[in-house]
């Protein structure tokens, strides 16, 4: 089925013409890395670096042509810059030679210009100043410097808590390599597509009062995403730009750990209102959290607060408290960096069990102290986003 889909997409791309050379994309040698799996199609268009800015309409046309092929659930197309070899071009004028392999994973087109105002990020050269998700009121990145600190659990529970407060909430899983939302939201449903003036759009899934989208909804659970950086960035842009999110009050973005391609794409392509950093109390996690904070500062995205997860272990039988990873490190780090400390959460069995079962504790057991802590953090976050948070919020501690 994959080979047949590749052939069908190739045939569709033969009907898309490069306006400069006058040749179709396939004959011009511009299509690279065409692959199809489970209805997902991805490929790159090899273009000279100096033409990168003007090639965005052609990229969209190629993406729309591929998406229109029967059997294609979604298509991701990225531009790959390359340098033309000096001297006469084999095969006649206008022929695009093979793209240099080293172009993958590098920035395409001109370098970003001067810094944008705080909270607005940078306009991508490919976007020519256009930002994605224009109908979303506030977009917040939920980030961490390293994996395993409970960032996704925090993002899901904050999103559900915001929805419970009557807001229109979206939750985007930006971790292309390790998506976790299908598990944590308790659904393996495949999203539908619908026609729109701009082409086919993916309909986000509705779960626990919010709209959600993840690459994990589009591929099988055990399918590895063996993609280079440009493909990852293209997929992330598609999850933002080709999903029918509609008008939302707030969107939380569950970021992958670290400071890589996804973080840069988010800061360039959407007007981030801010970021929330999740960390455990131990020194190594705080060191990575510090890097995450510095990264957002460099791209002019304000850090709205720091959350200490797994602040201590609480025995489910006797209630005994043990500070396994230390305690208070995130609060002290927040004070040192001038960032608000939003609160702490325990390493508690119920939070993990309910997350694994796809029933966030905020929805399943709203009466618990942990659920109330998430709700208080969400309320404080919305107060800051909506301009009602000038005064310092309450310190959220679970005894």
Res 1: pLDDT: 59
* pLDDT tens digits, 61-91: 998 999 899 988 878 787 765 434 333 333 3
What's the mean pLDDT when you consider all of the chain? Answer: 79
* pLDDT tens digits, 297-311: 888 899 999 999 888
Distance CA 138, CA 250 (A): 5
Distance CA 57, CA 362 (A): 44
Fold of the domain built from segment(s) 2-85:
GMP Synthetase; Chain A, domain 3 (3.30.300)
- pTM given for the model: 0.67
Q: What average pLDDT does range 39-49 have in this prediction?
A: 79
Higher pLDDT, 324 or 156: 156
The domain locations on the chain are 2-85, 136-385
By C-alpha distance, which of 306, 237, 289 is closest to 266? 237
Confidence of residue 126 (pLDDT cuts 50, 70, 90): very low
* pLDDT tens digits, 148-176: 888 999 999 999 999 999 999 999 999 88
Confidence of residue 108 (pLDDT cuts 50, 70, 90): very low
Full DSSP string of 15-51: T-B-TTT-SBTTTTT-EEEEEEETTEEEEEEEEEGGG
Domain 136-385 classified CATH 3.40.50.300?
A: yes
Highest mean pLDDT among 105-119, 121-135, 216-230, 231-245: 231-245
**Is there a shared CATH topology between the 2-85 domain and the 136-385 domain?**
no
Confidence of residue 35 (pLDDT cuts 50, 70, 90): confident
């Amino acid at each position: 089925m994959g080979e047949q889909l590749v052939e069908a997409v190739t045939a569709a791309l033969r009907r898309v013409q490069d306006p400069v050379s006058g040749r179709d994309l396939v004959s011009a040698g511009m299509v690279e890395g065409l692959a199809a799996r489970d209805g997902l199609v991805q490929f790159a268009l090899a273009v000279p670096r100096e033409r990168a800015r003007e090639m965005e309409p052609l990229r969209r046309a190629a993406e729309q042509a591929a998406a229109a092929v029967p059997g294609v659930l979604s298509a991701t197309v990225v531009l790959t810059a390359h340098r033309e070899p000096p001297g006469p071009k084999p095969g006649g004028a206008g022929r695009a030679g093979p793209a240099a392999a080293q172009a993958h994973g590098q920035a395409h087109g001109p370098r970003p210009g001067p810094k944008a105002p705080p909270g607005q990020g940078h306009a991508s050269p490919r976007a020519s100043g256009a930002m994605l998700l224009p109908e979303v009121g506030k977009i917040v990145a939920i980030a961490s410097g390293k994996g395993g600190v409970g960032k996704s659990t925090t993002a899901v529970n904050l999103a559900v808590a915001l929805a419970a407060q009557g807001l229109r909430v979206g939750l985007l899983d930006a971790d292309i390599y390790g998506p976790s939302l299908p598990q944590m939201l308790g659904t393996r449903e495949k999203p539908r597509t619908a026609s729109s003036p701009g082409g086919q759009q993916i309909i986000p899934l509705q779960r626990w009062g919010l709209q959600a989208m993840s690459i994990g909804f589009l591929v099988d659970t055990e399918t590895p995403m063996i993609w280079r950086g440009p493909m990852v960035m293209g997929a992330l842009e598609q999850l933002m730009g080709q999903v029918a999110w509609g008008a939302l009050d707030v969107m939380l973005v569950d970021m992958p750990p670290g400071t890589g391609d996804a973080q840069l794409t988010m800061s360039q392509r959407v007007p981030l209102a801010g970021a929330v950093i999740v960390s455990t109390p131990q020194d190594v996690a705080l060191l990575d959290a510090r890097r995450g904070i510095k990264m957002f500062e460099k791209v002019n995205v304000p850090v709205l607060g720091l959350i200490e997860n797994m602040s201590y272990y609480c025995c489910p039988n006797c209630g005994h408290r043990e500070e396994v990873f230390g305690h208070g490190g995130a609060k002290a780090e927040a004070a040192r960096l001038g960032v608000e400390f939003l609160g702490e959460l325990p390493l508690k069995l119920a939070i993990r069990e309910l997350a694994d079962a796809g029933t966030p504790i905020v929805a399943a057991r709203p009466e618990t102290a942990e659920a109330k802590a998430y709700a208080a953090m969400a309320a404080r976050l919305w107060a800051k986003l909506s301009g009602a948070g000038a005064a310092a919020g309450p310190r959220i501690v679970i005894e």
